[in-house]
Structure 1
Amino acid sequence: MSKGERNLRLHIMVTHEELTTLRERMAEINSQNQSAFIRKLATDGYAVNVDLAPVNELVSLQRRCVNNLAQIAKYAKSHNVYESEIIELQKGYQGLWKQYSRLLKHLAKLVAL
């Protein structure tokens, strides 16, 4: 949702201690946007911080594998080497990539602030 779609203002009063606690909780989950943090808590009742570094590394490795497979396939086609096996590998990678895409979509829904 774009910022322009949120055209209603909600004003709340807090004590100094409550504000300190709010900022500490934001820091715990590495949130920089106070409005988004409060909206998330108000609508869902929770806010989480998910470390996506392992997922990013997994996607990077998968992309490298796909690129390597494409190079192998190109070589095999030009030299008629095990073409049927390369085609099977390509199909396997396509299926694997679909699974990764599904996983990433589910993760994106979980971590959306």
Structure 2
Amino acid sequence: MKEKRDETIILRLSKTEKNRIYEKMLSMGIRSLSAYIRKMALDGYCLHLDLKELQRMAYLLQMCSNNLNQYAKRTNECGKVYAADMEDLRQRLDELIDIGKQILSKLAEL
């Protein structure tokens, strides 16, 4: 059951402080001032995860998987593997590895 929030805290701020709080809140993608202040007061931090790299990585992984299946099917049918196909797959895998390293370095900074 959701806990009822019926207690209030009055906080005095300067205009500059208020603006900085709103800027930080909006930069985190949070639209509720209460939620932002509650999270910061209780936990001391808010995380904003940018999932674009993960989405790109998932897309490339799906493309590599599809291509690999097509290469295996063609190899089984005609017994030939084309160097250009393997080079394309290698480049996509290299890009996946680079994106994975970027994601890990960003996570290490948290």
TM-score, normalising length from structure 2?
0.51
The structure that has the greater radius of gyration is: 2
1:71 is aligned to 70
Sort the Cα spacing of 1:70 and 1:38 in 2 relative to 1 into closer, same or farther, 3 A: farther
Using the TM superposition, give the Cα deviation of residue 19 of structure 1 relative to its aligned residue in structure 2, in angstroms: 4.5
Equivalent positions of 1:22-101 (< 5 A) are 22-80=21-79
Distance in 1 (alpha carbons) for counterparts of 2:78 and 2:35: 56
- Matched residue pairs, number? 86
2:86 is aligned to none
Sort the Cα spacing of 1:40 and 1:76 in 2 relative to 1 into closer, same or farther, 3 A: farther
Provide the aligned C-alpha RMSD in A.
Answer: 3.5
Does the residue aligned with 1:55 lie in a helix, a strand or coil? Answer: helix
2:11 is aligned to 14
Sort the Cα spacing of 1:44 and 1:77 in 2 relative to 1 into closer, same or farther, 3 A: farther
Could you tell me which runs of 5 or more consecutive residues in structure 2 were left unpaired when the two chains were aligned: 82-92
Amino acid at match of 2:3: N
Q: Percent identity?
A: 32
Distance in 2 (alpha carbons) for counterparts of 1:54 and 1:78: 36
TM-score, normalising length from structure 1?
0.50
1:85 is aligned to none
Amino acid at match of 2:43: D
Distance in 2 (alpha carbons) for counterparts of 1:21 and 1:6: 30
Does the residue aligned with 1:13 lie in a helix, a strand or coil? Answer: coil
Distance in 1 (alpha carbons) for counterparts of 2:47 and 2:56: 21
Using the TM superposition, give the Cα deviation of residue 45 of structure 1 relative to its aligned residue in structure 2, in angstroms: 0.6
Amino acid at match of 2:21: L
Distance in 2 (alpha carbons) for counterparts of 1:19 and 1:34: 11
Could you tell me which runs of 5 or more consecutive residues in structure 1 were left unpaired when the two chains were aligned: 83-92
